[in-house]
Amino acid sequence: MKINKGKFLMISVSLFIILVVTNYQSLENAKNSCEKGDKTPEVEQDIMAINWTVSCK
């Protein structure tokens, strides 16, 4: 099965966007979990929330 460059690019970009959005939602979920426990979330993150750390204090 041969995939042309346009389809490959579209699929790659779509997958990247899905991964970034899913990762961002995970970050928001972690912050909300801290807040539910009456703690303050301390967040360290890179561009587009690809690499992040949440500490609850």
Q: What is the mean pLDDT of each run of 10 residues along the chain (57 residues)?
A: 85 94 91 92 82 90
Block residue for tokens 């995970």: 26
**pLDDT of 14:** 97
Q: What is the pLDDT of residue 8?
A: 92
pLDDT value at residue 40: 92
Which residues form the domain of 50? 5-56
What is the tally of structural domains in the chain? 1
The pLDDT of residue 49 is 66
Give the pLDDT confidence score for residue 46 in this predicted structure: 82
Check residue 2 and give its pLDDT.
73
pLDDT confidence of residue 15? 96
